[in-house]
Amino acid sequence: MNKYYLQRTLGHTVSLTGTGLHSGQKTTITIHPAIENHGIKFRRVDLPGTQDIQALFKRVVDTSLATVVGTNGAIVSTIEHLMASFAGLGIDNALVEVDNYEIPIMDGSAKIYTRIMEAADIIIQRLPKHFLIVKKEVNFTDNDKSVTVFPEPCFKITCSIDFPNPLIGVQKLTFDRAKNNFEKEISRARTFGFVQDLEFFKKFSLGKGASLDNAVIIDKDKILNKEGLRYPDEVVRHKLLDCLGDFSLLGMPIQGHIVTHKSGHTLNHKFIKELLENKEAWETGPAMMEQTK
Residue positions counted in the chain: 293
Q: How wide is the angle at C-alpha 117 spanned by C-alphas 133 and 78, nearest 5°?
A: 75
Measure the CA–CA gap between 26 and 15, rounded to whole angstroms: 13
**How far is it, in rounded angstroms, from Cα 101 to Cα 36?**
26
Q: What angle do CA 179, 278, 128 make, to 5 degrees?
A: 45
How distant, in Å, are the alpha carbons of 79, 105, 258, 271 from that of 207? 15, 11, 30, 27
| CA 222 to each of CA 170, 219, 248: distance values in angstroms, whole numbers, following the listed order | 17, 5, 33
Catalytic one of 22, 238, 257, 265: 265
Q: What are phi and psi of 139, to 5 degrees?
A: -130, 140
Residues 273-287: b if buried by 16+ CB within 10 A, e if exposed: ebbeebeebbeeeeb
Query: What is the rounded distance in angstroms from the CA atom of residue 190 to the CA atom of residue 242?
Result: 10
Measured between its terminal Cα atoms, the distance across the chain in Å is 6
Q: Does 265 qualify as catalytic in the annotation? A: yes
Q: Which residues are catalytic?
A: 265
